[in-house]
Amino acid sequence: MTKTFSPTAVALLLAFSVATGALAAQDETAATAATAAAPRPEATPGDVESIDAIILAVYDVISGPAGQKRDWDRMRSLFIDGARLIPTGRRQNGEGGHRVMTVEDYITGSGSWLEQNGFFETEVSRKTDRFGNIAQVFTTYQSRRTPDAEPFMRGINSFQLWNDGERWWVVSIFWENETEGNPIPRRYLE
């Protein structure tokens, strides 16, 4: 069954993408220098002990009710230096687009929106490929305003992960939201 989204949900998604995309124009050197100036917070061992744990930690840290501050230090502790978050999709004119963000760009651009509006992203399904210390994980998600609300958005997060012999790290998250013209294939919903 293909889920379609109302014009309001699509407009909200586009507004969110535009808001986070504005940060892509910032000078990457300045963002990298700011990140390098502050030491990375220590990760909670349970958040980084397995592929399952680190993915669930990312979903957990971005999720919460309206008015709840997120633990952005926890978010920072999950990612390697230089990690990237990359939303993709179609612009209003139909052209493909993407935004390349650092972890700090994501926190700065999306943090207040997530905290003000309420946002719960949960995993629906997962496909994992692993070789040695690297893993590629397609995790299908759905997003809600409250835990019991109907999803207003679904899509696939492509996590690239690395294990340094002691813990797992997020190297990148590359994602695309489902649209009427680009439904999630059944194999990523099972």
Confidence (pTM): 0.81
d(CA 157, CA 136): 10
Q: Which of 51, 59, 53 is nearest to 75 (CA)?
A: 59
- Report percent pLDDT > 70 for the chain: 80
Percent over 90 (pLDDT), the chain: 75
Distance of CA 40 to the CA centre of its chain: 19
pLDDT mean over 175-179: 96
Q: What angle in degrees, to the nearest 10, is found between the helix axes of 103-117 and 7-21? A: 140
Domain ranges of the chain: 7-35+44-188
With cut-offs at 50, 70 and 90, classify the pLDDT of residue 110. Answer: very high
The number of helices, as runs of H, and strands, as runs of E, in the chain is 5, 6
The architecture (CATH level 2) of 7-35+44-188 comes to Roll (3.10)
